[in-house]
Amino acid sequence: MHFPLFGELIIILGLATGILLLFRKFKLPGILGFIVTGMIAGPHGLGWVKEVEEVEAMSEIGVVLLLFVIGMEFSLKKLAALGRTVFIGGGLQAGLTIAAVTAVLALFGMRTERAVFIGFLVTLSSTAIVLRVLQEKGKMDAVHGRVATAILIFQDIIVVPMMLVTPMLAGKSNDIGGDLLWLLAKMILLLVAVYISGRFIVPRLLAAVTKGKGNELFIITIVVICFAAAYATQALGLSLALGAFFAGLVISETDHAYHATGIVLPFHELFMSFFFVSIGMLVDIHHFFEAPFLILGLTIGMALLKVLTTLLSVWVLRYPLRTAMYTGLTLFQLGEFGFILAIPGLELGLLSEANYQIFLLVSILSMGATPFMLEYSDRIVRYFFLSFVPASVSKRLDRLMRVKKEQEKTVAKVLKDHVVVIGFGLNGRNVAGAAKDSGIRCAVVESDMDAAQNAQSLGLTTLVGDATNIHLLEQAHVERARVVVVAINDNAQTLKIIAGVRSISNTAHIIVRTRYVRDLEALFAAGANEVIPEEFETSIEIFHRVLRRYLVPEARIQGLIAAIRNDHYERLRGKSGNRLRKKEEPLTIPGLEIATLPVTLGRSKVVGRSIAESELREKYGITVLAIRRGGRYITNVKGDARILTDDLLYLLGSPENIVRLDHDLR
């Protein structure tokens, strides 16, 4: 069978791999890497890819999956928690930006409908890049991070009506009033279908397909729901992406939303990479060299306009002026949804080919500048206020809006310093019950619907799905958990779960149960801190009862049991001598713990510097007790000791600060 696209896929993915590695080194967004791949391999570059239409077809699947994921992550509860900021802040930002762009372009003689459409494009910021950078910098829970996220949610929602209005702006309607009524009727029909599906059909269907082992049926069902909804909206004369969004919205209200999102995400990321490659293929870099100052001037002007409109929108919401400016600097760029919206605009004549090229180049420049803008946002804000806005003026402006006191802390409902219990069988129930009785916050991950509902009925935070799904572990916030308990019977699944947890956090203490002794070494090698084999625990229970019959003191029995467990059951396995080590008193300092952190990457601000230069105590409140380097230990750690890649750090500090350092070392 001849498949001409196969060789070109290898070219695209191979070239993208090299470019992404280079971009990662310079901390540039991956989206730009795919666009540059398209620019190099496409018809305006080296011309390596001839099957451009096939790449564009795959990119359309990526757009469908993108809107599907957005719909699944669009929780009505989340929207209610951020409702005022989403609708008022997002609405003001969109309205002010569209109005300002339209007014400026009208002054230069552009027709109103084209100016409004370009206003649509400028309004949209990059959800993918902004959220990724905020997460890397640990700013998601900062006030400006939450406000920026709320405005991005509104932008993701408003893309849908923008898509619907675009043909009308292009003058494809002879009866705008009638077409609007017909469009409204279609939307009502869709909303009714969404309600019926979400209330009666999809939850029952997903509950049925999740019974039994294996994800195959669940994956097929999710994909069918997505593409069937997309096809249905296309049949109604609407876009494929709109149907995918509504399909995701239906699934978002079920208990399987996180599991479904985790399954779809890899496919979404693969096909979206082809979308950005296809965008890169459309870029003609010669346009930049023909008018570089025009492109740079438009990029700077657009960024300043968006900073100003976002700043005003956030300030009107009664946030401090500094927070408003931080948010403006966060959302100054153009976004990936603009690419999606620009294609029909080009086809309908709302964008000329020259203006489309300018839009692409300005988008790429602003996206590339985003990580650097956020890196230096603190200095920019500080310089702005010191140079242009005296403290007295800032306070008067804040008093004018009766600004509420800003609280730079995590939302109370976010899981933190909790225990994650994976598997709600007998052992999982006992652990979760003990945690709840002790006042310890607990999250449960369970794939069986009946067991998950049992956990929910006990008031426990419950996530439904397979814990080998990284997205599900992220939603359980294992990066902030103190302990993760894996209480399932499948050893292969347990190994995958441990690997998943370790890919997110090096600080979580993982406790695993296993049925057989032979699995101990593999589980420890995978990253488990403690492994409890049922075979040996049965032996311990037997000799515990035997010794009690011989009137051995309970304290002595517990000492023997503790020594055996501390030796990882070596005595029972016949690998140690007859002498049992005396149990040592654990270190119990309120608010502090001793943890080990591996240094696996060489690109953070800590690696390669001395402990004094890294300011671990000043920035993180952490003391380095020892360093293991190769086969030796450095115990007399001084300020000039350097932290190198592959070191193992022994640290003393609060759990929160150790988690923060772990994040910065990644």
Task: Based on the fold, state whether residues 438 and 365 are members of the same structural domain.
Answer: no
The confidence score (pLDDT) of residue 421 equals 92
The confidence score (pLDDT) of residue 467 equals 86
Task: Based on the fold, state whether residues 115 and 210 are members of the same structural domain.
Answer: yes
Higher pLDDT, 604 or 37: 37
Task: Based on the fold, state whether residues 371 and 435 are members of the same structural domain.
Answer: no
Which amino acid, one-letter code, is at 441? R
Q: Residues 200, 221: contact at Cβ < 8 Å?
A: no
Calculate what percentage of the chain has a pLDDT beyond 90: 10
Backbone angles phi, psi at 572, to 5 degrees: -70, -25
pLDDT, one tens digit per residue, over 100-149 is 999 999 898 888 889 999 999 999 998 777 877 776 676 766 778 888 88
Task: Based on the fold, state whether residues 371 and 449 are members of the same structural domain.
Answer: no
Q: Edge-to-edge strand order for the sheet containing 442-446? A: 461-464, 442-446, 419-422, 483-486, 509-514, 530-533
Which amino acid, one-letter code, is at 173? S
Q: Is the pLDDT of residue 275 over 50?
A: yes
Within a domain: 19: no
Stretch among 232-241, 574-583, 636-645 having the lowest mean pLDDT: 574-583
Stretch among 69-83, 457-471, 483-497 having the lowest mean pLDDT: 69-83
pLDDT, one tens digit per residue, over 543-555 is 667 667 656 777 7
Within a domain: 43: no
Q: Please state the rounded mean pLDDT for residues 165-193.
A: 74
Task: Based on the fold, state whether residues 367 and 446 are members of the same structural domain.
Answer: no
Q: Is the pLDDT of residue 164 over 90?
A: no
Given 317, 343, 375, which residue is the final one in a domain?
Answer: 375
The confidence score (pLDDT) of residue 590 equals 62
Q: Please state the rounded mean pLDDT for residues 373-384.
A: 81
Task: Based on the fold, state whether residues 520 and 598 are members of the same structural domain.
Answer: no
Within a domain: 412: no
Cα 566 to Cα 125, 185, 450, distances in angstroms: 53, 68, 36
Within a domain: 612: yes
Q: Is the pLDDT of residue 98 over 90?
A: yes
The confidence score (pLDDT) of residue 123 equals 93
Task: Based on the fold, state whether residues 609 and 519 are members of the same structural domain.
Answer: no
User: 580 in helix, strand or coil?
Assistant: coil
Which amino acid, one-letter code, is at 324? A
Backbone angles phi, psi at 103, to 5 degrees: -65, -45
Q: Residues 88, 154: contact at Cβ < 8 Å?
A: no
Q: Please state the rounded mean pLDDT for residues 453-466.
A: 87
Q: What is the CATH number of the domain that holds 493?
A: 3.40.50.720
Task: Based on the fold, state whether residues 367 and 428 are members of the same structural domain.
Answer: no
Task: Based on the fold, state whether residues 354 and 428 are members of the same structural domain.
Answer: no
Task: Based on the fold, state whether residues 355 and 456 are members of the same structural domain.
Answer: no
The confidence score (pLDDT) of residue 305 equals 94
pLDDT band at 578 (very low <50, low <70, confident <90, very high): very low
Q: Is the pLDDT of residue 580 over 50?
A: no
Q: Is the pLDDT of residue 99 over 90?
A: yes
The confidence score (pLDDT) of residue 484 equals 92
pLDDT, one tens digit per residue, over 199-248 is 788 888 888 887 766 678 888 888 888 888 888 887 777 777 778 888 88
**Range of 637's domain?**
593-664
The confidence score (pLDDT) of residue 582 equals 41
pLDDT, one tens digit per residue, over 596-633 is 888 875 556 677 788 888 888 888 888 888 888 877 88
Q: Is 567 exposed, middle or buried (0-12, 13-18, 19+ CB in 10 A)?
A: middle
The confidence score (pLDDT) of residue 138 equals 65
Within a domain: 154: yes
Structurally, how many domains does the chain consist of?
3
Q: What is the CATH number of the domain that holds 129?
A: 1.20.1530.20
Question: Residues with Cβ < 8 Å from 137, sequence gap 6 or more?
Answer: 374
Higher pLDDT, 515 or 114: 114
Within a domain: 649: yes
Cα 146 to Cα 124, 200, 476, distances in angstroms: 17, 34, 19
Q: What is the CATH number of the domain that holds 658?
A: 3.30.70.1450
Task: Based on the fold, state whether residues 76 and 209 are members of the same structural domain.
Answer: yes
pLDDT, one tens digit per residue, over 364-377 is 888 888 888 888 88
Within a domain: 486: yes
Q: Is the pLDDT of residue 153 over 70?
A: yes
Q: Is the pLDDT of residue 306 over 60?
A: yes
Q: Please state the rounded mean pLDDT for residues 476-485.
A: 88
The confidence score (pLDDT) of residue 411 equals 37
The confidence score (pLDDT) of residue 213 equals 67
What SS3 string covers 617-648?
A: HHHHCCEEEEEEECCEEECCCCCCCECCCCCE
pLDDT band at 585 (very low <50, low <70, confident <90, very high): very low
Scored b (16 or more CB within 10 A) or e, 384-409 reads ebeeeeeeeeeeeebeeeebeeeeee
Q: Residues 560, 541: contact at Cβ < 8 Å?
A: no
Q: Is the pLDDT of residue 568 over 60?
A: no
Given 375, 390, 410, which residue is the final one in a domain?
Answer: 375
The confidence score (pLDDT) of residue 620 equals 81
Distance CA 61, CA 590 (A): 53
Given 528, 552, 581, which residue is the final one in a domain?
Answer: 528
The confidence score (pLDDT) of residue 505 equals 85
Nearest by Cα to 330 from 354, 311, 315, 346: 311
Average pLDDT, whole number, for the chain?
Answer: 79
Task: Based on the fold, state whether residues 339 and 232 are members of the same structural domain.
Answer: yes
As a whole number of Å, the end-to-end CA separation of the chain is 44
Within a domain: 540: no
Which amino acid, one-letter code, is at 548? R
